């Protein structure tokens, strides 16, 4: 069964637009997480960025205490955030690239360039009982490096697929990259998740990719929730995901 991890970052984005720096504010990302769980989500994803533009430290600790499903903490491979992760002890961390000027995470992690430091972080997390995923492009060398790091999972960056979705030729080429990447990762013993830019319109095409265990979806769910509510948006996505056959 393909699982859904609901990313609640942009609920916090909306809160911070009005209440940044205050002890209170709405909408509450914790409430969004609980509603998503009640609707059937298999896990909750949140990205504690170094610049704290949306999710705050208090949100991560509250999520760990209050949700009953799997907490996936997206994070940069940075000492401050590593220390917080080791205190929070989420079920899994997904290490992502992070640049201060980007609107959202752009591109995959360069595992080859940071193999030594990522291996050290992976060992710390695993020693604390935390699984590790690396957010990467479907690139053969990056996948091989992820296996050498010892990560339990990779998360295939589907942003390029989402960007070219309306162009049939480019979509086919990008899907092939994702299919080949998933097969290569699986052969190396890596478990495969995917995420970025996924929505109700492009999701079915992604089902050509084998070995997927979980999709992490955020912005499109929050966007749909503006019109139909979070519970309905999550249920709608889960209904589509039931059609996946690896």
For 25-67, the pLDDT digits (tens) are: 999 999 999 999 999 999 999 999 999 999 999 999 999 999 9
Domain chopping of the chain, boundaries: 3-241
Q: Which residues are designated catalytic?
A: 47, 74, 196
Angle between helices 140-149 and 168-187 (to 10 degrees): 30
Query: What is the token pair recorded at 212?
Result: 């997927």
CB neighbours (10 Å) of residue 112?
15
Q: In this predicted model, which residue has the larger pLDDT, 105 or 232?
A: 232
Q: What is the dihedral of CA 218, 11, 131, 211, to 10 degrees?
A: -10
The answer to pTM > 0.85 is yes
Query: If we measure between CA atoms, which residue out of 91, 79, 88, 146 comes closest to residue 119?
Result: 146
On average, the pLDDT of the chain sits at: 96
**How large is the average pLDDT for residues 142-156?**
98
DSSP 135-197: EE-S-HHHHHHHHHHT-SEEEEE-HHHHHTTTSHHHHHHHHHHHHHHHHHHHHTT-EEEEESS
CA distances from 156 to 4, 11, 41 (A): 15, 23, 20
Has residue 101 got a pLDDT over 80? no
For 3-241, which CATH class?
alpha beta
Tokens representing 126 are: 């695993």
pLDDT tops 80 at residue 235: yes
**Over the stretch 190-220, which tens digit does the pLDDT of each residue have?**
999 999 999 999 999 999 999 999 999 999 9
């Amino acid at each position: 069964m393909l699982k859904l991890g609901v990313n609640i970052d942009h609920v916090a984005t909306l809160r911070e637009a009005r209440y940044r720096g205050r002890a209170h504010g709405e909408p509450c990302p914790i409430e969004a997480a609980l509603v998503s769980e009640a609707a059937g989500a298999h896990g909750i994803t949140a990205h504690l960025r170094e610049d704290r533009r949306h999710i705050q430290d208090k949100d991560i600790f509250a999520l760990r205490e209050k949700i009953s499903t799997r907490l996936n903490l997206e994070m940069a491979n940075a000492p401050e955030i590593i220390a917080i992760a080791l205190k929070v002890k989420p079920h899994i961390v997904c290490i992502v690239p992070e640049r201060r000027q980007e609107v959202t995470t752009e591109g995959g992690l360069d595992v080859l360039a940071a193999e030594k430091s990522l291996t050290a972080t992976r060992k710390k997390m695993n020693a604390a009982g935390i699984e590790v995923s690396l957010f990467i492009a479907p690139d053969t060398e990056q996948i091989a490096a992820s296996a050498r790091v010892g990560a339990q999972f990779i998360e295939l960056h589907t942003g390029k697929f989402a960007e070219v979705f309306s162009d049939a030729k480019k979509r086919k080429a990008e899907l092939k990259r994702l299919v080949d990447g998933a097969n290569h990762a699986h052969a190396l013993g890596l478990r495969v998740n995917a995420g970025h830019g996924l929505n109700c319109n492009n999701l079915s095409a992604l089902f050509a990719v084998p070995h997927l265990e979980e999709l992490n979806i955020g912005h499109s769910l929050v966007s749909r929730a503006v019109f139909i509510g979070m519970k309905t948006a999550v249920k709608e996505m889960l209904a589509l995901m039931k059609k996946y056959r690896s």
